[in-house]
């Protein structure tokens, strides 16, 4: 795993060095730059495959007509290399996947992207055609940002690298703030800055003659239910997961597996141990607050699988000390607090290994979140008059606020707040923070009048047009993939792991697994009140029943409690009247009300206050 940066147009070697230095934690083993004509590439290397200097980047074809900077892993590169060697046109001087990409492009042009199975963000410059190609992997596991200024394109893995280029200016994107307040992150293609964008997942872009000439997807999510028995589907999933995990064990450096004790990570650990020649290393963390702790389940799985298990405990004091460490690097507001334990786990794991496998993706592909069960009650409540729903919502305010993980008052509050907007937005509001009505209280009148994206939910409308003929259930799965998985889970894991120079791989997001699961009947994914039905059946005799049958918990931290105690002083500092009034975006009177109600245990405003706190910390660090 690595960091990439570069430009085509105006710029210097010093600009390249500053850009890559800003994200050097993504690749501490080597930082390289190359500026030829007006094409400048930079690369920060985390050595995983072929550790030799010959595999360093920027990487050139033998005739130096093609230059590449690449972040990621191509899991089928050996088969692709054999395919190229049979052509008797290319001589390979490394054993890296990097070199395979260069010659794939030279042989197949833009079609080369369809051949690769992996996670990647890459830039290729073709000197003969004076053409830059930028691309991201199908599932959007690796990030890529870009900006075009007066005929120059600047690109990088992270915003902070782009900001090092002298042509790039920082101007707040208020529409992106509007989205952030709702989602807790900023959906692609927007970023927090005007004129800087994220390339979409499964998309490539061609830049030539000072402008974008092509931008299109090379892969599309497809839902078409195949006729397959449940038994055969279980057998096929077994083979696909086995292959996906086996492929991701490829490494020239030490490797391990994240093991939370949930079904997904336990499944990955099972297949990893099955394919390993010796005991695999598994890593988990525990929490001192019991309602958040899952370490006993991780130990149970590790014992049954016979792994070499490692565990550390995340205390409140440690968590609080990590917050400034993380927010100082987060160049875009990101309000999922589970980035704290993810960062801690990554930091702990990196002491032992350089690569880790994780269980991300299963919940979105197989309807594993509790919200998919809550979805069953939607039709009943949607049929009720709005005033009656509002009455039900008001009753939840009578419940005493709890600091426990996924407490009853929290679940009910989140559930009822979803009904104030159209049905297609309900799941987003369940998962997010501020509803449109709450934002009308939060924003100043001047800020409200400056918005051009209204309720801040228009990205949902855009994504749903991608799958117009899919069933309502599959459209819901797709919206989770394009928003929560792509913009929250994968961003969180990429940043938390890369800040510690750790590569994380996700077998559930192998393209073969994804395409297979997308084409299964709904009843194989969720039936009654059971989500991830097929996976649970597959793992029934492979993992302890306690792991398979227990409800999903998530990777939470006690933010609610901290905001009234250890984080109170920090909250008061960043959400003070002076600071809020200074940038003129938010109404302090409304923020004051949120703080007082939370501190007095009248309401649990943990999501709203944490969202605002993260934004203000970001403002301090990057504006």
Q: What is the pLDDT of residues 128-143, one digit of tens each?
A: 999 999 999 999 999 9
The reported pLDDT for the residue numbered 542 is 97
- CA dist 284 and 312 (Å) reads 7
* Cβ count near 127 (within 10 Å): 16
What is the pLDDT averaged over residues 30-54?
A: 95
At residue 378, the pLDDT reads: 74
Query: What whole-number distance in Å separates Cα of residue 42 and Cα of residue 269?
Result: 35
pLDDT band at residue 377 using 50, 70 and 90 as cut-offs: confident
Of the pLDDT bands very low, low, confident and very high (cuts 50, 70, 90), residue 236 is: very high
Q: Check pLDDT > 90 for residue 182.
A: yes
Give the per-residue pLDDT at 385.
Answer: 73
- Report the distance separating Cα 618 and Cα 327, nearest Å: 7
Q: What is the rounded CA–CA span in Å between residue 298 and residue 609?
A: 32
User: What residues contact 221, with CB distance under 8 A and at least 6 apart?
Assistant: 466, 467, 478, 481, 514, 518
Beta-strand ranges (E) seen in 218-270 are 255-258
pLDDT higher than 90, residue 396: no
Q: What are phi and psi of 458, to 5 degrees?
A: -65, -20
Q: One fold for both 2-217 and 230-367+492-549?
A: no
CB 444 within 8 A of CB 587: yes
Q: Where are the chain's structural domains?
A: 2-217, 230-367+492-549
How far apart CA 278 and CA 307 sit, in angstroms, is: 9
Strand 530-531 and strand 355-357: the pairing is: unpaired
**Of 534, 530, 518, the residue nearest 234 (C-alpha):** 534
- Binning pLDDT at 50, 70 and 90, where does residue 558 land? confident
**Per-residue pLDDT at 395:** 60
Contact 399, 407 (CB under 8 A): no
Q: What is the pLDDT of residue 6?
A: 98
Q: 133 in helix, strand or coil?
A: strand
CATH of domain 2-217: 3.60.20.10
Whole-angstrom distance, CA of residue 135 vs CA of residue 220? 14
User: Cα(323)–Cα(566) distance, rounded to whole angstroms?
Assistant: 12
pLDDT digit string, tens, across residues 62-79: 999 999 999 999 999 999
Least confident of 12-26, 158-172, 419-433: 419-433
pLDDT at residue 391, as a whole number? 63
Average pLDDT over residues 523-532: 94
Q: Which residues pair with 437 in a beta bridge?
A: none
Find, among 283, 237, 290, 291, the residue nearest to 261 by Cα: 283
Average pLDDT over every residue of 9-34 = 97
50 — pLDDT class (breaks 50, 70, 90): confident
pLDDT band of residue 399 (cuts 50, 70, 90) is low
CB-CB contact of 16 with 161 (8 Å) = no
Return the minimum-mean-pLDDT range out of 77-81, 101-105, 275-279, 287-291. Answer: 287-291
pLDDT tens digit sequence for 240-254: 999 999 999 999 999
Closest among 50, 55, 56, 58 to 33, alpha carbons compared: 58
Cis check for the bond before 7: say yes or no (omega within 30 of 0). no
Task: Give the side-chain half-sphere CA count within 13 A for 336.
Answer: 22
Which pLDDT does position 292 carry in this prediction?
74
| pLDDT band with cut points at 50, 70 and 90 for residue 404 | low
Report pLDDT for 66: 98
458: DSSP letter: H
pLDDT at 329 over 60: yes
> pLDDT band at residue 529, thresholds of 50, 70 and 90?
confident
**pLDDT value at residue 287:** 84
- In the chain the first and final C-alpha atoms are separated, in Å, by 29
274-288 pLDDT per residue, tens: 999 999 999 999 987
CA gap 560, 575 in Å, rounded: 16
Mean local confidence (pLDDT), 17-32:
97
Is 333's pLDDT higher than 90?
yes
Give residue 1's pLDDT. Answer: 65
The alpha carbon of residue 618 and the mean position of all alpha carbons in its chain are separated, in whole angstroms, by 18
C-alpha R_g of the chain: 24
Tens of pLDDT, residues 486-505: 999 999 999 999 999 999 99
CATH number 3.40.190.10 is the correct assignment for the domain at 230-367+492-549? no
Picking from 410, 404, 428, the residue whose alpha carbon sits closest to that of residue 556 is 404
Overall average pLDDT of the 146-156 stretch: 98
pLDDT digits (tens, 9 = 90+) for 350-373: 999 999 999 999 999 999 998 888
Q: Which residue is it, tokens 């509001």?
A: 429
pLDDT of 379 above 80: no
- pTM score, whole prediction: 0.94
Q: 5-14, 110-119, 184-193, 401-410: which has the minimum mean pLDDT?
A: 401-410
Region 38-46 average pLDDT? 97
3-state SS of 306-372 is: CCEEEEEEECHHHHHHHHHHHHCCCCCCCCCCCHHHHHHHHHHHHCCCCEEECCCCHHHHCCCCHHH
> What was the pLDDT predicted at 423?
81
Identify the pLDDT of residue 375: 80
Please give the mean pLDDT across all residues of the chain: 93
Q: Quick one: average pLDDT of 307-322?
A: 92
- What is d(CA 376, CA 228) in angstroms, rounded to the nearest whole number? 25
- Residue 403 confidence (pLDDT): 57
pLDDT at 336: 97
Amino acid 123: pLDDT: 98
Beta bridge partners of 527: 530
Dist. CA 348–CA 623, nearest whole Å: 31
In the prediction, which pLDDT does 98 show? 97
| Cβ atoms 459, 187 nearer than 8 A | yes
């Amino acid at each position: 795993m690595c960091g990439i940066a570069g430009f085509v147009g105006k710029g210097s070697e010093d600009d390249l060095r500053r850009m890559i230095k800003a994200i050097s934690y993504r690749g501490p083993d080597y930082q390289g730059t190359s500026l030829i004509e007006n094409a400048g590439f930079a690369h920060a290397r985390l050595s995983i495959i072929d550790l030799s200097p010959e595999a360093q980047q920027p990487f050139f074809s033998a005739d130096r007509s093609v230059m590449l900077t690449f972040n990621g892993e191509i899991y089928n590169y050996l088969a692709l290399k054999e395919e190229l060697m049979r052509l008797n046109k290319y001589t390979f001087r490394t054993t890296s996947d990097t070199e395979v990409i260069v010659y794939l492009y030279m042989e197949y042009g833009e079609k080369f992207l369809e051949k690769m199975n992996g996670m990647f963000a890459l830039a290729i410059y073709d000197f003969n055609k004076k053409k830059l190609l930028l691309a991201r992997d199908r599932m959007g596991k690796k990030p890529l940002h870009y900006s075009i200024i007066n005929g120059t394109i600047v690109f990088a893995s992270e915003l902070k690298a782009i900001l090092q280029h002298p042509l790039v200016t920082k101007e707040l994107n208020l529409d992106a703030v509007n989205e952030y307040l709702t989602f807790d992150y900023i959906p692609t293609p927007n970023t927090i800055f005007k004129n800087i964008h994220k390339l979409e997942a499964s998309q490539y872009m061609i830049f030539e003659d000072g402008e974008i000439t092509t931008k299109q997807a090379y892969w599309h999510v497809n839902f078409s239910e195949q006729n397959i028995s449940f038994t055969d589907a279980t057998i096929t999933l077994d083979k696909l997961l086995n292959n996906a995990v086996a492929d991701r064990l490829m490494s020239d450096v030490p490797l391990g597996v994240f093991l939370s004790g949930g079904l997904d990570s336990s499944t990955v650990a099972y297949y990893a141990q099955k394919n390993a020649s010796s005991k695999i290393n598994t890593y988990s963390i525990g929490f001192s607050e019991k309602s958040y702790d899952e370490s006993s389940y991780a130990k149970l799985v590790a014992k049954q699988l016979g792994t070499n298990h490692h565990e550390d405990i995340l205390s409140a004091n440690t968590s609080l000390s990590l917050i400034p460490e993380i927010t100082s690097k987060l160049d875009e507001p990101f309000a999922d607090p589970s980035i704290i334990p993810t960062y801690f786990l990554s930091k702990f794991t990196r002491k032992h290994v350089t690569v880790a496998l994780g269980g991300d993706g299963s919940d979105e592909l197989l309807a594993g979140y509790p919200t998919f069960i809550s979805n069953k009650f939607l039709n009943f409540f949607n049929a009720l008059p709005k005033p009656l729903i509002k009455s039900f919502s008001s009753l939840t305010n009578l419940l005493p606020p709890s600091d426990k993980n996924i407490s009853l008052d929290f679940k009910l509050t989140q559930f009822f707040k979803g009904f104030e907007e159209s049905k297609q937005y309900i799941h987003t509001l369940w998962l997010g923070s501020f509803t449109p009505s709450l934002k009308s209280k939060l924003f100043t009148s001047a800020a409200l009048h400056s918005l051009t994206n209204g309720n801040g939910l228009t990205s949902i409308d855009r994504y749903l047009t991608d799958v117009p003929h899919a069933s309502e259930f599959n459209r819901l799965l797709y919206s989770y993939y394009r928003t929560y998985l792509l913009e929250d889970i994968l961003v969180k894991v990429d940043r938390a792991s890369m800040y510690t120079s750790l590569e994380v791989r996700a077998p559930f997001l192998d393209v073969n697994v994804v395409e297979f699961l997308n084409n299964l009947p709904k009843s194989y994914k969720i039936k009654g009140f059971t989500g991830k039905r097929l996976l649970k059946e597959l793992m029934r005799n492979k993992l302890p029943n306690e792991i398979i049958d227990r409800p999903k918990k998530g990777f939470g931290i006690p933010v609610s409690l901290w905001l009234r105690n250890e984080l109170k002083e920090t909250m008061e500092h960043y959400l003070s009247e002076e600071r809020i009034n200074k940038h003129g975006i938010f109404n302090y009177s409304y923020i004051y009300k949120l703080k007082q109600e939370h501190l007095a245990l009248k309401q649990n405003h943990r999501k709203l206050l944490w969202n605002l706190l993260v934004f203000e910390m970001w403002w301090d660090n990057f504006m």
